[in-house]
Amino acid sequence: MTNEIGFELIYPENCKEISEDLKPEEFRKRINDINNALQILLSRSGADDDSVDEQSQEVECRPTNASKERLKYAGIFIHLLSPQFTHYPDIDIRLRICVALCRMLTIFCPINPFENASNCQSVIGDLLRFLNECILNITKLHSKQDVNYPRLHTILYTCCKLDVFTWCRLLDDGDKVLLETLKTIFTLMRNLKIWAWSDEGVVQNFVLETLVTLMHQTTHLLSDEIVLFLLKFLIEPAKSTQPHQHLLAKDLILRMAPQIEYPIQLVNFFCHNNVQLLQNSLVKSDQTTTNTNESDGEVLDHDHEPLGEHTYILIYALHTLQESLVTPILPCVGLKLKSLIPRERKRAFRLLTRIFSEPNSTLHQTDPELWTAFLSRFNDIDVQIRSFCIQMVPLLLKNSEIPKLQIFDCLKTSAIDRSDAVRLLALKTVASLMREAKDDSIDNFFELIHNRSRDKSLTIRKEALAELASFYKRCLLSGKLDHERMTIALNATLHMYYQPSTEDK
Protein backbone atom coordinates (compact mmCIF):
# COMPACT_ATOMS: atom_id res chain seq x y z
CA MET A 1 0.00 0.00 0.00
CA THR A 2 1.42 3.42 -1.03
CA ASN A 3 0.17 6.78 0.20
CA GLU A 4 -0.43 9.79 -2.04
CA ILE A 5 2.98 11.29 -1.21
CA GLY A 6 4.89 8.36 -2.66
CA PHE A 7 6.09 6.52 0.47
CA GLU A 8 4.97 2.97 1.07
CA LEU A 9 2.52 2.77 3.96
CA ILE A 10 3.85 0.00 6.22
CA TYR A 11 2.55 -0.52 9.75
CA PRO A 12 4.58 -2.08 12.57
CA GLU A 13 4.03 -5.77 13.16
CA ASN A 14 0.58 -6.71 14.54
CA CYS A 15 -0.74 -3.16 14.14
CA LYS A 16 -3.96 -2.34 12.33
CA GLU A 17 -4.64 0.43 9.85
CA ILE A 18 -5.34 3.96 11.11
CA SER A 19 -8.10 5.95 9.43
CA GLU A 20 -10.25 8.96 10.25
CA ASP A 21 -13.40 6.83 10.17
CA LEU A 22 -12.51 4.98 13.36
CA LYS A 23 -14.41 5.62 16.56
CA PRO A 24 -12.35 7.39 19.27
CA GLU A 25 -11.95 4.28 21.45
CA GLU A 26 -10.84 2.12 18.53
CA PHE A 27 -8.58 4.93 17.29
CA ARG A 28 -6.97 5.17 20.72
CA LYS A 29 -6.47 1.40 20.88
CA ARG A 30 -4.81 1.23 17.46
CA ILE A 31 -2.50 4.21 18.04
CA ASN A 32 -1.54 2.62 21.38
CA ASP A 33 -0.65 -0.59 19.57
CA ILE A 34 1.55 1.37 17.18
CA ASN A 35 3.23 3.16 20.09
CA ASN A 36 3.88 -0.10 21.91
CA ALA A 37 5.34 -1.71 18.79
CA LEU A 38 7.63 1.27 18.21
CA GLN A 39 8.64 1.20 21.87
CA ILE A 40 9.63 -2.46 21.60
CA LEU A 41 11.64 -1.67 18.49
CA LEU A 42 13.45 1.14 20.30
CA SER A 43 14.09 -1.02 23.36
CA ARG A 44 15.77 -3.65 21.21
CA SER A 45 18.11 -1.00 19.78
CA GLY A 46 18.88 0.50 23.21
CA ALA A 47 17.13 3.83 22.57
CA ASP A 48 14.28 3.61 25.08
CA ASP A 49 12.45 6.94 25.27
CA ASP A 50 9.66 6.36 27.74
CA SER A 51 11.45 6.89 31.04
CA VAL A 52 11.15 10.24 32.77
CA ASP A 53 14.64 9.73 34.16
CA GLU A 54 17.06 11.74 32.06
CA GLN A 55 19.99 9.39 32.49
CA SER A 56 18.05 6.43 31.15
CA GLN A 57 16.75 8.42 28.24
CA GLU A 58 19.83 9.06 26.14
CA VAL A 59 18.68 8.87 22.54
CA GLU A 60 21.42 7.32 20.46
CA CYS A 61 21.73 8.31 16.81
CA ARG A 62 24.04 5.95 14.99
CA PRO A 63 23.75 5.54 11.20
CA THR A 64 23.42 1.77 11.28
CA ASN A 65 21.96 -0.46 8.61
CA ALA A 66 19.12 -1.25 11.02
CA SER A 67 18.14 2.41 11.30
CA LYS A 68 18.18 2.75 7.51
CA GLU A 69 15.95 -0.30 7.28
CA ARG A 70 13.44 1.41 9.58
CA LEU A 71 12.97 4.24 7.12
CA LYS A 72 10.20 2.06 5.81
CA TYR A 73 8.00 3.76 8.43
CA ALA A 74 8.27 7.10 6.60
CA GLY A 75 4.94 6.32 4.95
CA ILE A 76 2.98 5.92 8.17
CA PHE A 77 4.83 8.95 9.56
CA ILE A 78 3.46 11.15 6.78
CA HIS A 79 0.06 9.46 7.08
CA LEU A 80 -0.18 10.42 10.77
CA LEU A 81 0.74 14.00 9.84
CA SER A 82 -2.44 14.30 7.81
CA PRO A 83 -4.72 17.17 8.92
CA GLN A 84 -7.49 14.79 9.97
CA PHE A 85 -5.12 13.38 12.62
CA THR A 86 -3.15 16.46 13.69
CA HIS A 87 -6.44 18.35 14.13
CA TYR A 88 -8.28 15.49 15.80
CA PRO A 89 -10.70 16.96 18.38
CA ASP A 90 -9.49 14.75 21.27
CA ILE A 91 -6.27 16.21 22.75
CA ASP A 92 -5.39 12.87 24.34
CA ILE A 93 -5.38 11.16 20.94
CA ARG A 94 -3.40 14.01 19.37
CA LEU A 95 -0.71 13.61 22.03
CA ARG A 96 -0.57 9.84 21.44
CA ILE A 97 -0.13 10.51 17.72
CA CYS A 98 2.65 12.98 18.53
CA VAL A 99 4.41 10.40 20.73
CA ALA A 100 4.28 7.93 17.83
CA LEU A 101 5.83 10.55 15.53
CA CYS A 102 8.59 11.23 18.07
CA ARG A 103 9.39 7.55 18.38
CA MET A 104 9.62 7.23 14.63
CA LEU A 105 11.94 10.26 14.55
CA THR A 106 14.16 8.43 17.03
CA ILE A 107 14.08 5.37 14.78
CA PHE A 108 15.01 7.48 11.74
CA CYS A 109 17.83 9.26 13.59
CA PRO A 110 20.25 10.54 12.37
CA ILE A 111 18.60 10.46 8.94
CA ASN A 112 15.93 12.91 7.86
CA PRO A 113 14.04 10.87 5.24
CA PHE A 114 12.16 13.94 3.99
CA GLU A 115 15.06 16.38 3.50
CA ASN A 116 15.42 15.69 -0.21
CA ALA A 117 11.82 14.77 -0.90
CA SER A 118 9.70 16.88 -3.22
CA ASN A 119 7.23 17.47 -0.39
CA CYS A 120 9.94 18.47 2.11
CA GLN A 121 8.45 21.91 2.78
CA SER A 122 4.96 20.69 3.63
CA VAL A 123 6.01 17.63 5.67
CA ILE A 124 8.62 19.39 7.82
CA GLY A 125 6.48 22.50 8.20
CA ASP A 126 3.45 20.47 9.32
CA LEU A 127 5.60 18.39 11.66
CA LEU A 128 7.23 21.34 13.44
CA ARG A 129 3.95 23.19 13.84
CA PHE A 130 2.26 20.09 15.23
CA LEU A 131 5.12 19.49 17.67
CA ASN A 132 4.93 23.08 18.89
CA GLU A 133 1.19 22.81 19.33
CA CYS A 134 1.50 19.61 21.38
CA ILE A 135 4.43 20.79 23.51
CA LEU A 136 2.50 23.92 24.43
CA ASN A 137 0.12 21.71 26.42
CA ILE A 138 2.84 21.47 29.08
CA THR A 139 1.66 24.87 30.28
CA LYS A 140 -1.65 23.26 31.25
CA LEU A 141 -0.08 20.71 33.59
CA HIS A 142 -0.81 21.01 37.30
CA SER A 143 1.65 18.39 38.50
CA LYS A 144 3.79 15.48 37.33
CA GLN A 145 0.91 13.18 38.28
CA ASP A 146 -1.13 14.57 35.40
CA VAL A 147 -2.14 11.76 33.04
CA ASN A 148 -0.59 13.54 30.05
CA TYR A 149 2.76 14.29 31.70
CA PRO A 150 4.65 11.16 30.49
CA ARG A 151 3.54 11.77 26.89
CA LEU A 152 4.39 15.47 26.99
CA HIS A 153 7.76 14.69 28.54
CA THR A 154 8.54 12.17 25.81
CA ILE A 155 7.61 14.69 23.10
CA LEU A 156 9.65 17.56 24.56
CA TYR A 157 12.68 15.46 25.45
CA THR A 158 12.80 13.77 22.06
CA CYS A 159 12.52 17.06 20.18
CA CYS A 160 15.30 18.59 22.25
CA LYS A 161 17.60 15.58 22.17
CA LEU A 162 17.26 15.04 18.42
CA ASP A 163 17.37 18.77 17.61
CA VAL A 164 14.25 18.32 15.50
CA PHE A 165 13.51 22.04 15.47
CA THR A 166 16.73 22.75 13.57
CA TRP A 167 14.87 21.38 10.55
CA CYS A 168 13.22 24.78 10.19
CA ARG A 169 16.39 25.83 8.33
CA LEU A 170 15.05 23.79 5.40
CA LEU A 171 11.83 25.81 5.15
CA ASP A 172 11.14 28.86 3.05
CA ASP A 173 9.27 30.37 6.00
CA GLY A 174 11.79 29.01 8.48
CA ASP A 175 12.04 32.34 10.31
CA LYS A 176 8.35 32.15 11.23
CA VAL A 177 8.67 28.56 12.45
CA LEU A 178 11.81 29.47 14.39
CA LEU A 179 9.98 32.34 16.10
CA GLU A 180 7.04 30.05 16.90
CA THR A 181 9.44 27.51 18.40
CA LEU A 182 11.18 30.12 20.54
CA LYS A 183 7.84 31.41 21.78
CA THR A 184 6.78 27.87 22.66
CA ILE A 185 9.94 27.05 24.61
CA PHE A 186 10.01 30.36 26.45
CA THR A 187 6.35 29.92 27.36
CA LEU A 188 7.17 26.54 28.92
CA MET A 189 9.67 28.18 31.26
CA ARG A 190 6.85 29.92 33.13
CA ASN A 191 5.89 26.73 34.97
CA LEU A 192 9.29 25.01 34.88
CA LYS A 193 8.87 24.06 38.53
CA ILE A 194 5.86 21.91 37.67
CA TRP A 195 7.16 19.88 34.73
CA ALA A 196 10.93 19.75 35.30
CA TRP A 197 11.87 16.06 35.44
CA SER A 198 15.09 16.82 37.34
CA ASP A 199 16.61 19.77 39.20
CA GLU A 200 15.30 23.03 37.71
CA GLY A 201 18.82 24.28 36.98
CA VAL A 202 19.72 21.05 35.17
CA VAL A 203 16.57 21.14 33.04
CA GLN A 204 17.01 24.84 32.24
CA ASN A 205 20.59 24.16 31.14
CA PHE A 206 19.32 21.28 29.00
CA VAL A 207 16.83 23.60 27.30
CA LEU A 208 19.55 26.24 26.90
CA GLU A 209 21.83 23.78 25.10
CA THR A 210 18.94 22.90 22.80
CA LEU A 211 18.34 26.56 21.97
CA VAL A 212 22.04 27.24 21.42
CA THR A 213 22.21 24.39 18.91
CA LEU A 214 19.02 25.62 17.27
CA MET A 215 20.30 29.20 16.97
CA HIS A 216 23.71 28.11 15.71
CA GLN A 217 22.12 26.23 12.82
CA THR A 218 19.54 28.90 12.01
CA THR A 219 21.61 32.10 12.27
CA HIS A 220 20.61 33.01 8.72
CA LEU A 221 16.96 33.00 9.81
CA LEU A 222 17.34 35.64 12.53
CA SER A 223 14.88 38.43 11.85
CA ASP A 224 14.15 41.68 13.67
CA GLU A 225 11.07 40.05 15.17
CA ILE A 226 13.09 37.14 16.60
CA VAL A 227 15.74 39.47 18.02
CA LEU A 228 13.05 41.67 19.58
CA PHE A 229 11.43 38.62 21.13
CA LEU A 230 14.68 37.68 22.88
CA LEU A 231 15.57 41.22 23.92
CA LYS A 232 12.27 41.90 25.66
CA PHE A 233 13.15 39.32 28.34
CA LEU A 234 16.22 41.35 29.36
CA ILE A 235 14.20 44.28 30.70
CA GLU A 236 11.18 44.97 32.85
CA PRO A 237 8.56 43.70 33.34
CA ALA A 238 9.85 40.30 32.17
CA LYS A 239 13.02 40.63 34.25
CA SER A 240 11.01 40.62 37.49
CA THR A 241 7.87 38.69 36.61
CA GLN A 242 9.44 35.93 34.49
CA PRO A 243 12.82 35.09 36.09
CA HIS A 244 13.28 31.74 34.33
CA GLN A 245 12.64 33.30 30.92
CA HIS A 246 14.90 36.25 31.75
CA LEU A 247 17.74 33.96 32.77
CA LEU A 248 17.28 31.76 29.69
CA ALA A 249 17.30 34.76 27.32
CA LYS A 250 20.35 36.26 29.02
CA ASP A 251 22.32 33.01 28.88
CA LEU A 252 21.29 32.41 25.28
CA ILE A 253 22.45 35.86 24.15
CA LEU A 254 25.74 35.40 25.99
CA ARG A 255 26.31 32.00 24.40
CA MET A 256 25.45 33.41 20.98
CA ALA A 257 27.61 36.54 21.41
CA PRO A 258 30.41 35.34 19.08
CA GLN A 259 27.87 34.78 16.32
CA ILE A 260 26.14 38.11 16.98
CA GLU A 261 29.29 40.24 17.07
CA TYR A 262 30.33 39.33 13.53
CA PRO A 263 27.16 40.61 11.82
CA ILE A 264 27.38 43.67 14.08
CA GLN A 265 30.73 44.60 12.57
CA LEU A 266 29.55 43.80 9.04
CA VAL A 267 26.31 45.70 9.29
CA ASN A 268 26.37 46.53 5.57
CA PHE A 269 26.22 42.87 4.70
CA PHE A 270 23.49 41.81 7.11
CA CYS A 271 20.07 43.36 7.45
CA HIS A 272 18.73 41.36 10.37
CA ASN A 273 20.75 41.88 13.52
CA ASN A 274 20.07 43.49 16.81
CA VAL A 275 22.59 46.30 16.43
CA GLN A 276 21.14 47.65 13.21
CA LEU A 277 17.75 47.28 14.80
CA LEU A 278 18.86 49.37 17.78
CA GLN A 279 20.57 51.92 15.54
CA ASN A 280 17.46 52.28 13.41
CA SER A 281 15.37 52.70 16.53
CA LEU A 282 17.73 55.41 17.79
CA VAL A 283 17.51 57.29 14.51
CA LYS A 284 13.75 56.91 14.19
CA SER A 285 13.17 58.07 17.76
CA ASP A 286 14.11 61.57 16.62
CA GLN A 287 11.66 61.34 13.75
CA THR A 288 8.94 59.96 16.02
CA THR A 289 9.45 62.74 18.56
CA THR A 290 9.32 65.35 15.82
CA ASN A 291 6.17 63.81 14.37
CA THR A 292 4.63 63.78 17.84
CA ASN A 293 5.20 67.51 18.15
CA GLU A 294 3.72 68.13 14.71
CA SER A 295 0.77 65.75 14.89
CA ASP A 296 -1.05 67.52 17.75
CA GLY A 297 -2.11 64.32 19.43
CA GLU A 298 -2.57 62.09 16.38
CA VAL A 299 -1.91 58.39 16.82
CA LEU A 300 1.43 57.36 15.32
CA ASP A 301 2.34 54.08 13.66
CA HIS A 302 4.63 52.47 16.21
CA ASP A 303 5.49 49.62 13.84
CA HIS A 304 8.20 51.86 12.41
CA GLU A 305 9.85 52.09 15.83
CA PRO A 306 9.41 48.60 17.33
CA LEU A 307 11.63 49.23 20.35
CA GLY A 308 10.17 52.63 21.17
CA GLU A 309 10.94 53.77 24.71
CA HIS A 310 12.89 50.59 25.41
CA THR A 311 15.79 51.34 23.05
CA TYR A 312 18.07 52.92 25.65
CA ILE A 313 17.11 50.40 28.33
CA LEU A 314 17.98 47.52 26.01
CA ILE A 315 21.32 49.07 25.08
CA TYR A 316 22.24 49.24 28.76
CA ALA A 317 20.99 45.69 29.39
CA LEU A 318 23.14 44.39 26.53
CA HIS A 319 26.09 46.43 27.79
CA THR A 320 25.86 44.78 31.20
CA LEU A 321 25.83 41.37 29.53
CA GLN A 322 28.79 41.95 27.22
CA GLU A 323 30.23 45.32 26.22
CA SER A 324 31.18 44.21 22.72
CA LEU A 325 27.51 43.69 21.87
CA VAL A 326 26.84 47.45 21.96
CA THR A 327 30.25 48.96 21.22
CA PRO A 328 29.27 49.72 17.59
CA ILE A 329 26.12 51.47 18.83
CA LEU A 330 27.80 53.95 21.18
CA PRO A 331 28.83 56.41 18.42
CA CYS A 332 25.15 56.58 17.47
CA VAL A 333 24.29 57.28 21.10
CA GLY A 334 26.93 60.02 21.06
CA LEU A 335 25.14 61.66 18.15
CA LYS A 336 21.93 61.58 20.17
CA LEU A 337 23.65 63.84 22.71
CA LYS A 338 23.55 66.52 20.02
CA SER A 339 20.00 65.83 18.88
CA LEU A 340 17.69 68.76 18.23
CA ILE A 341 15.15 67.11 20.53
CA PRO A 342 15.82 67.90 24.23
CA ARG A 343 14.15 64.67 25.33
CA GLU A 344 16.50 62.61 23.16
CA ARG A 345 19.55 64.39 24.55
CA LYS A 346 18.32 63.66 28.06
CA ARG A 347 17.71 59.97 27.35
CA ALA A 348 21.16 59.60 25.77
CA PHE A 349 22.81 61.34 28.74
CA ARG A 350 21.00 59.07 31.21
CA LEU A 351 22.12 55.95 29.33
CA LEU A 352 25.75 57.06 29.13
CA THR A 353 25.72 58.04 32.81
CA ARG A 354 24.74 54.48 33.71
CA ILE A 355 27.44 53.08 31.43
CA PHE A 356 30.20 55.44 32.61
CA SER A 357 29.29 54.82 36.25
CA GLU A 358 29.68 51.05 35.98
CA PRO A 359 32.35 49.81 38.42
CA ASN A 360 35.80 49.91 36.83
CA SER A 361 34.40 51.21 33.54
CA THR A 362 37.16 52.65 31.32
CA LEU A 363 34.93 53.81 28.48
CA HIS A 364 35.95 57.43 29.12
CA GLN A 365 39.51 56.37 28.29
CA THR A 366 38.76 54.13 25.33
CA ASP A 367 36.33 56.61 23.75
CA PRO A 368 37.47 60.14 24.74
CA GLU A 369 35.31 61.77 22.05
CA LEU A 370 32.18 60.25 23.56
CA TRP A 371 33.31 61.38 27.02
CA THR A 372 33.84 64.96 25.79
CA ALA A 373 30.42 65.00 24.11
CA PHE A 374 28.93 63.65 27.32
CA LEU A 375 30.46 66.42 29.49
CA SER A 376 29.33 69.07 27.02
CA ARG A 377 25.72 68.47 28.10
CA PHE A 378 26.46 70.33 31.33
CA ASN A 379 26.35 73.41 29.09
CA ASP A 380 23.20 72.36 27.26
CA ILE A 381 20.90 75.12 26.06
CA ASP A 382 17.97 73.51 27.88
CA VAL A 383 17.72 74.32 31.60
CA GLN A 384 16.09 70.98 32.46
CA ILE A 385 18.92 69.04 30.83
CA ARG A 386 21.57 71.09 32.64
CA SER A 387 19.75 70.34 35.89
CA PHE A 388 19.47 66.66 35.00
CA CYS A 389 23.22 66.47 34.35
CA ILE A 390 23.89 67.81 37.85
CA GLN A 391 21.52 65.24 39.35
CA MET A 392 23.51 62.45 37.70
CA VAL A 393 26.86 63.53 39.21
CA PRO A 394 26.61 61.41 42.41
CA LEU A 395 25.92 58.33 40.28
CA LEU A 396 28.88 59.12 38.02
CA LEU A 397 31.29 59.44 40.94
CA LYS A 398 30.53 55.88 42.06
CA ASN A 399 33.08 54.76 39.48
CA SER A 400 36.51 55.31 41.02
CA GLU A 401 38.08 55.48 37.53
CA ILE A 402 36.11 58.58 36.52
CA PRO A 403 38.31 61.75 36.35
CA LYS A 404 36.74 63.62 39.25
CA LEU A 405 38.45 66.92 38.46
CA GLN A 406 36.65 67.08 35.12
CA ILE A 407 33.33 66.43 36.84
CA PHE A 408 34.10 69.13 39.42
CA ASP A 409 34.94 71.60 36.65
CA CYS A 410 31.49 70.94 35.21
CA LEU A 411 29.96 71.59 38.64
CA LYS A 412 31.90 74.86 38.91
CA THR A 413 30.44 75.92 35.59
CA SER A 414 26.96 74.96 36.77
CA ALA A 415 27.48 76.93 39.98
CA ILE A 416 27.70 80.16 37.97
CA ASP A 417 24.91 79.23 35.56
CA ARG A 418 22.56 81.99 34.43
CA SER A 419 19.62 80.04 35.86
CA ASP A 420 18.99 80.36 39.59
CA ALA A 421 17.51 76.85 39.69
CA VAL A 422 20.64 75.33 38.14
CA ARG A 423 22.96 77.21 40.50
CA LEU A 424 20.92 76.14 43.52
CA LEU A 425 20.92 72.50 42.43
CA ALA A 426 24.67 72.61 41.81
CA LEU A 427 25.20 74.07 45.27
CA LYS A 428 23.08 71.39 46.95
CA THR A 429 24.89 68.65 45.02
CA VAL A 430 28.31 70.01 45.99
CA ALA A 431 27.21 70.31 49.62
CA SER A 432 26.07 66.69 49.61
CA LEU A 433 29.37 65.58 48.07
CA MET A 434 31.37 67.61 50.60
CA ARG A 435 29.62 65.87 53.51
CA GLU A 436 30.68 62.50 52.08
CA ALA A 437 34.15 63.58 50.90
CA LYS A 438 37.43 62.66 52.54
CA ASP A 439 39.64 65.36 54.03
CA ASP A 440 42.01 65.48 51.05
CA SER A 441 39.22 66.24 48.54
CA ILE A 442 37.21 68.78 50.51
CA ASP A 443 39.05 71.94 49.43
CA ASN A 444 37.38 72.41 46.07
CA PHE A 445 33.92 71.73 47.44
CA PHE A 446 34.35 74.16 50.33
CA GLU A 447 35.65 76.92 48.09
CA LEU A 448 32.71 76.62 45.71
CA ILE A 449 30.18 76.78 48.56
CA HIS A 450 31.95 79.79 50.05
CA ASN A 451 31.83 81.63 46.73
CA ARG A 452 28.09 81.03 46.44
CA SER A 453 27.55 82.77 49.79
CA ARG A 454 27.73 86.01 47.78
CA ASP A 455 25.40 84.92 45.00
CA LYS A 456 22.94 87.46 43.67
CA SER A 457 20.06 85.15 44.60
CA LEU A 458 18.96 85.31 48.24
CA THR A 459 17.83 81.67 48.15
CA ILE A 460 21.27 80.52 47.05
CA ARG A 461 23.03 82.74 49.61
CA LYS A 462 20.86 81.24 52.36
CA GLU A 463 21.62 77.69 51.18
CA ALA A 464 25.36 78.40 51.05
CA LEU A 465 25.35 79.98 54.49
CA ALA A 466 23.39 77.09 55.97
CA GLU A 467 25.94 74.64 54.59
CA LEU A 468 28.87 76.69 55.92
CA ALA A 469 27.21 76.75 59.35
CA SER A 470 26.67 73.00 59.14
CA PHE A 471 30.35 72.52 58.31
CA TYR A 472 31.33 74.73 61.28
CA LYS A 473 29.12 72.67 63.59
CA ARG A 474 30.49 69.33 62.33
CA CYS A 475 34.02 70.52 63.01
CA LEU A 476 33.13 71.47 66.59
CA LEU A 477 31.33 68.19 67.27
CA SER A 478 34.00 65.98 65.73
CA GLY A 479 36.83 67.60 67.65
CA LYS A 480 38.86 67.91 64.43
CA LEU A 481 39.15 71.68 64.28
CA ASP A 482 39.92 73.04 60.82
CA HIS A 483 40.78 76.58 61.94
CA GLU A 484 41.30 78.01 58.47
CA ARG A 485 37.98 76.85 57.01
CA MET A 486 36.09 77.52 60.22
CA THR A 487 37.36 81.12 60.13
CA ILE A 488 36.26 81.46 56.50
CA ALA A 489 32.80 80.10 57.36
CA LEU A 490 32.47 82.49 60.33
CA ASN A 491 33.59 85.50 58.29
CA ALA A 492 31.11 84.63 55.52
CA THR A 493 28.32 84.53 58.09
CA LEU A 494 29.28 87.89 59.57
CA HIS A 495 29.66 89.37 56.09
CA MET A 496 26.07 88.49 55.31
CA TYR A 497 24.85 89.79 58.66
CA TYR A 498 26.28 93.24 57.95
CA GLN A 499 24.61 93.52 54.56
CA PRO A 500 22.05 96.33 54.20
CA SER A 501 19.34 93.85 53.17
CA THR A 502 16.98 92.83 55.97
CA GLU A 503 16.58 89.36 54.41
CA ASP A 504 20.34 88.77 54.64
CA LYS A 505 20.40 89.77 58.31
Please report, for residues 416, 417, 460, 461, 478, the alpha-carbon distance to residue 492 in angstroms, rounded to integers and kept in the order given: 18, 22, 14, 10, 21
In tens, the pLDDT along 333-377 reads: 999 999 999 999 999 999 999 999 998 888 999 999 999 999 999
Which segment, 136-140, 253-257, 499-503, is predicted with the most confidence on average? 136-140
CB 471 within 8 A of CB 485: yes
Predicted confidence band at 302 (pLDDT cuts at 50, 70, 90)?
very low
Helix (H, G, I), strand (E, B) or coil at 25: helix
Query: What are the pLDDT digits (tens) for 7-32?
Result: 678 888 889 999 888 999 999 999 99
User: Is pLDDT above 90 for 141?
Assistant: yes
pLDDT tier, 269 (very low <50, low <70, confident <90, very high otherwise) = very low
So what's the pLDDT on residue 117? 75
Asked if 245 contacts 233 with a C-beta cutoff of 8 angstroms, the reply is yes
Confidence class for position 503, pLDDT limits 50, 70, 90: confident
**pLDDT of res. 6:** 57
With the C-alpha atoms ordered 116, 117, 122, 127, is the resulting torsion angle positive or negative?
Answer: negative
Give the confidence band of 304 by pLDDT, cuts at 50, 70, 90. Answer: very low
Assess whether pLDDT exceeds 70 at residue 55. no
**Of 148-152, 277-281, 319-323, 452-456, which gets the smallest average pLDDT?**
277-281
Question: Per-residue confidence at 418, pLDDT binned at 50, 70, 90?
Answer: very high
Q: CB of 138 within 8 A of CB of 190?
A: no
Query: Can you tell me the distance from the alpha carbon of 233 to that of 238, in angstroms, rounded to the nearest whole number?
Result: 5
| pLDDT at 477 exceeding the cut of 80 | yes
DSSP structure string for 350-382: HHHHHHHTSTT--HHHH-HHHHHHHHGGGG-SS
**93 pLDDT above the threshold of 60:** yes
**Reported confidence tier of residue 495, pLDDT bands at 50, 70, 90:** confident
Q: What percent of the chain has pLDDT over 70?
A: 82
